[in-house]
């Protein structure tokens, strides 16, 4: 099988109910999308046995369907040794990804970003207008032509978090925490041994390090719908994230970075 253009990690912790539906939707859209080639790596982040079984079965069934159709896309299941958090699962998935992938990505397992929306972003990696970009990041910006369905409390908490993030890191991002990002592999590979965040702050850590590397980033407005069942604990996780921003900035300020890995030709 030809090497995938995109390796996308889907971290899954006790997602036995939501993940199979999402994997099924991704499979159906993948069967209609000949390019770019996508490798989906579902990383089971130490789920309970009953969830692990459902998650693994959905991945295996998806791969059977893709193989039967001689599709260039593929699904792979990776089991983490323990529950380490979203960031830990994503890093594990990237280390299992094809070494020939042009882009490395992650995508939330809850289906808030639909399969169609993911593949719309994936197609942008081949678009002439984005050839100079190193990062394509989904963003929950409510604007003409886009649909964002989100709990008001989470929206307000998100805006406060975004403001604090910008004050600390100057990322100039509207939405650092949206659950889909695609990063040029040549920019990301040198950072894999530097990334440390195990949970939600991986997004901020990653964007901050990429900015220091001179990465060219584009936020892409997407359709997004909150289906409930979030693992976020209101109040407690907000406090953890705000405190985490302070610790993250202190750590990154003391961190030497590898040489700028941007290739001379990004085509």
d(CA 231, CA 154): 13
pLDDT at position 65: 97
The answer to the question of residue 201 being in a domain is yes
Write out the DSSP string of 40-87: EEEEE-S--HHHHHHHHHHHHHHHHHHHHTT-S-EEEEEE-SS---HH
CA distances from 52 to 46, 99, 163, 207, 232 (A): 8, 26, 37, 31, 20
pLDDT of residue 266: 41
Domain contains 98: yes
- Along the 267 residues of the chain, how does pLDDT read in single tens digits? 556 699 999 999 999 999 999 999 999 999 997 778 999 999 999 999 999 999 999 999 999 999 999 999 999 999 999 999 999 999 999 999 999 999 999 999 999 999 999 999 999 998 888 889 999 999 987 554 556 765 555 656 666 777 778 777 888 888 888 889 999 999 999 999 999 999 889 999 999 999 999 999 999 999 988 766 555 555 556 667 777 888 898 888 887 765 565 654 443
Number of domains into which the chain is organized: 1
CB under 8 A, 24+ apart: contacts of 243-246: 244/197, 244/201, 245/164, 245/165, 245/168, 245/201, 245/204, 246/168
Is 94 in contact with 59 (CB distance < 8 Å)?
Answer: no
Alpha helices (H) in 126-201, listed in sequence order: 152-169, 185-188
Q: Is residue 260 part of a domain?
A: no
| pTM over cut 0.75 | yes
Residue at 264 is within a domain: no
Task: List the strands of the sheet with 74-79, edge to edge.
Answer: 74-79, 38-44, 6-12, 103-107, 180-184, 135-139, 217-221
In a domain, residue 130? The reply is yes
Model confidence pLDDT, tens digit, residues 2-29: 566 999 999 999 999 999 999 999 999 9
Contact 43, 93 (CB under 8 A): yes
Question: What's 257's DSSP letter?
Answer: -
Query: What is the pLDDT, as a whole number, of residue 131?
Result: 87
Within a domain: 17: yes
Domain membership of residue 208 (yes or no) is yes
Q: Is the distance from CB of 101 to CB of 6 less than 8 angstroms? A: yes
pLDDT given for residue 232 in this prediction: 56
Domain assignment of residue 156, given as a range:
6-253
Q: Which of 93, 87, 89, 109 is nearest to 202 (CA)?
A: 87
**3-state SS, residue 248:** helix
Q: Determine, yes or no, domain membership for 132.
A: yes
What is the radius of gyration, based on Cα positions, of the chain?
Answer: 18
What are the pLDDT digits (tens) for 92-105?
Answer: 999 999 999 999 99
> What pLDDT score was predicted for residue 156?
60
Q: What is the CATH number of the domain that holds 28?
A: 3.90.550.10
């Amino acid at each position: 099988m030809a090497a995938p253009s995109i390796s996308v990690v889907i971290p899954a912790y006790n997602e036995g109910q939501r993940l199979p539906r999402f994997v099924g939707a991704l499979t159906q859209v993948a069967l209609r999308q000949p390019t770019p080639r996508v490798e989906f790596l579902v990383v089971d982040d130490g789920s309970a046995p009953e969830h692990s079984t459902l998650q693994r079965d959905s991945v295996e069934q998806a791969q059977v369907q893709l193989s039967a159709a001689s599709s260039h896309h593929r699904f792979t299941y990776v089991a983490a040794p323990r529950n380490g958090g979203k960031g830990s699962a994503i890093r594990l998935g990237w280390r299992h990804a094809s070494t020939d992938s042009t882009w490395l990505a992650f995508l939330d397992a809850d289906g808030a970003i639909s399969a169609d929306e993911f593949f719309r972003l994936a197609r942008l990696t081949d678009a002439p207008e984005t050839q100079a970009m190193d990062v394509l990041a989904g963003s929950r910006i409510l604007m003409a032509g886009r649909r964002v369905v989100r709990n008001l409390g989470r929206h307000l908490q998100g805006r406060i978090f975004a403001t604090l993030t910008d004050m600390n890191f100057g990322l100039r991002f509207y939405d650092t925490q949206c659950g889909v990002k695609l990063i040029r592999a040549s920019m990301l590979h040198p950072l894999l041994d530097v990334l440390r965040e195990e949970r939600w702050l991986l997004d901020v850590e990653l964007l901050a390090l990429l900015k220091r590397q001179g990465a060219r980033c584009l936020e892409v407005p997407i359709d997004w719908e909150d289906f409930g069942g979030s693992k976020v604990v209101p109040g407690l996780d907000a406090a953890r994230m705000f405190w985490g921003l302070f610790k993250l900035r202190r750590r990154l300020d003391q961190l030497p970075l590898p040489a700028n890995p941007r290739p001379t030709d990004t085509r």
